Amino acid sequence: MYKTYQVKKREIYSDVHKKITTHIDNLEDLGQLSKHGSNDSKDIFVKFTHQEITKKELLAYFEKYKNSTRNNLSNYIDKKFEKDDYEVAVRVVYLSVTSLPDSTKLIDKPIVLYETKNKVLKPGISETGKWETSSTSTSDKAEKPERNDSFIVKSQTDFEILNINYIVFKELTLLILCCIALLLSVLLLYIFTVKNLIKQQKQIEVLHTVVDNISHEFKTPIATLKIASKTLKKEYNQEIFPLIDRQISRLEDLMKQLHAEEFDEEISIIHPQDWFFFIQDLAFTYPKADLELNNSVSTELPFDKKLMETVIKNLCENSVKYGASKIKINLKTIQNKLEITVSDNGNGIEQKELKNIFEKFYRIQPNNIHNSKGLGLGLFFVKKIIEKYNGKTEVSSIVKEGTTFKISIPYEG
């Protein structure tokens, strides 16, 4: 577009230049622009050369000459380009006038000879000329000989189309509209592509989250089943069989998450005794940890059993990983809110770490060394589950004394 604009601008200026150059070159010969004769300019320089007039009078003459020709020149130019709707400004300037043969410079700055009412601000075309002119004068008195005066004149003619931008854009309207349409098409294609990429990215993130979740959740039931298997080999215990059944059910639920389209979605609720089984399974998996459950929940709650099990077990397993030997779990309902408090006597968390512990894959690194195994996903999933139910999570911790997680989840009665 810019190149086309420049080419079109040059074409218009070239056309204007051709139409008015002939007239400008013959302004002095036409004798119709002012009352001054065609040789007046030459004569005034002769007088100035022979000190018959002052420099001030010389400049005043050309100023008067310019003003006397302005209206006729402007009318001529306007009429010339009336059909084209061009606003053209013209200016003719004497750059220098040199008297021969002594090469005396008669002017020290340019003199405007002709100028239209419209002022030339930024010439679109400037052309310079140089010529030699002479004047011969005779005297009636015998004591004054004939005088021959010659001058070398350098002039410059400037043209400017004041509304050139309007003219160019008017002539390029169709091309501009086509370019705008093309740009809009590219922009729409770009927006569509970006939206599609964002959509694909979200799907990938969801897939990664599901895979991370399932891989993390598989660890606990598998570890529990391994311990149960070893225990059965040593001695028979009736309590182990329900535990094995619960872990198998949990593995089946995890498989359903991987292949959700193959199963009907069930509305899951959590029963009061389920909380006890969560802690019982943890106690079996971590026999060295003292887990104490205070449960005052006596009704069914509209929360997904699998998700609540994930919350409780991730919080407790996190406590065990970071040095806790005693863990207290308090459950209660107050005004249609489930409140879960998990506190331990572990290593604690520094204040600067608290804002980061719920980030995905983040793990606390004391002295840049990982002292516990894990992927940094447990607390991340806890946060996501609580946010799903529009709940809140608060954490308080004292280094070397322990950490407390307080969770509040609203529900409808």
pLDDT tens for the chain, 413 residues: list them.
Answer: 888 888 888 888 888 888 877 666 555 543 444 444 445 777 888 888 888 888 888 888 888 888 888 888 888 888 888 888 889 999 989 999 888 888 888 888 899 988 889 899 888 888 888 888 887 765 544 455 566 788 898 989 898 999 988 888 888 888 889 989 999 999 999 999 999 999 888 878 777 766 766 666 676 677 777 777 777 767 766 677 777 777 777 776 666 655 544 444 555 688 989 899 889 888 888 888 899 999 999 899 989 888 898 899 889 988 988 889 999 999 999 989 999 999 999 988 888 888 888 887 777 665 433 445 556 778 888 898 899 899 999 999 999 899 999 999 999 86
> Residue 341: enclosing H or E segment and its boundaries?
strand 337-344
Q: Is the dihedral of CA 167, 172, 174, 180 positive or negative?
A: negative
Find out whether 141 and 101 touch, Cβ atoms under 8 Å. Answer: no
Q: How far is CA 59 from CA 55, 216, 361, in A?
A: 6, 96, 87
d(CA 94, CA 153): 7
d(CA 178, CA 294): 74
Q: Spell out the domains of the chain, with CATH numbers in brackets.
A: 2-135+148-171 (no CATH), 202-410 (3.30.565.10)
Q: Which ranges of 286-329 would DSSP assign to H, the alpha helix?
A: 305-321
Q: Is the peptide bond before 145 cis (omega within 30 degrees of 0)?
A: no
| Residue 55: both structure tokens together | 């420099």
Q: Is the dihedral of CA 43, 49, 52, 56 positive or negative?
A: positive
Find out whether 228 and 284 touch, Cβ atoms under 8 Å. Answer: yes
Other CB atoms within 10 Å distance of the CB of residue 50: 12
- Start-to-end C-alpha separation, the chain: 67
Paired strand residues for 331: 295, 340
> Residue 47: enclosing H or E segment and its boundaries?
helix 40-49
Amino acid letter, residue 74: S
